[in-house]
Structure 1
């Protein structure tokens, strides 16, 4: 494969090591991912290669699931071999629900998010309008570790308040 084509390629494996028929994966991608361009899918064993006209569309919105199975994606990198291919971490968007309005600020949100994984990004655009609903943080987690369901936030009155974590696009 030429390098130009590989720069538009994402490699993926299913987190639960489930095997799928490539045609079904292709059908699911075309009907559920709402891409604005063509995608060609090849597979070698349980490794799938997604070759896009524009891979940025998928990289921004991932991870994805196919019929309920989590599909972990990573960019192709030069000199990569499929024999040694392994995804150990993935990025997930996490919603933090139940934050009391007076505690809904960046420091508290980031401290809570750090308990679930390494912080990659934060969606602060809608902070004020979403304050009564949830905060949204992108974190990096190990794929073989359990996801944390939430954590406690101590109020000034020393009352523990449960903040639940909900992960986007994994089910």
Structure 2
């Protein structure tokens, strides 16, 4: 009886040890698979991040090239007749210079020059617009109003 009991205990211990080892190896396999999936996700995420960074860098380079195409300050070669100018309420006529920011009041439809071809101006780069300020025309960013170029004395 003692031998049977000992043999049974040994068998139970052996199966539990093997079962635990099998479960541990299965768990480690699952962990490896999970880690591999995470690594692939991280790689894809890094690739997308790199693509976005490259795209933004290309956009900045194009914007810089567009800005270089325009001189910062130009004297108009010819003067054009235009309707009388009235500054926005609370503002006076002033001269603007490169790097300043125009208030949003100036960037409304009343002051934006949409028929730039009629006045001998080139098409503004994407994200920029011509804005009239007194007798001058200013090339300013649509979003923030940053002035890129000033064309002085375009209007009578």
TM-score range for the pair, normalised by the shorter chain length: under 0.3
Structure holding more helix per residue: 2
- Structure of larger gyration radius: 2
Structure 1 length as normaliser, TM-score? Answer: 0.22
Normalized per residue, the structure richer in strand is 1
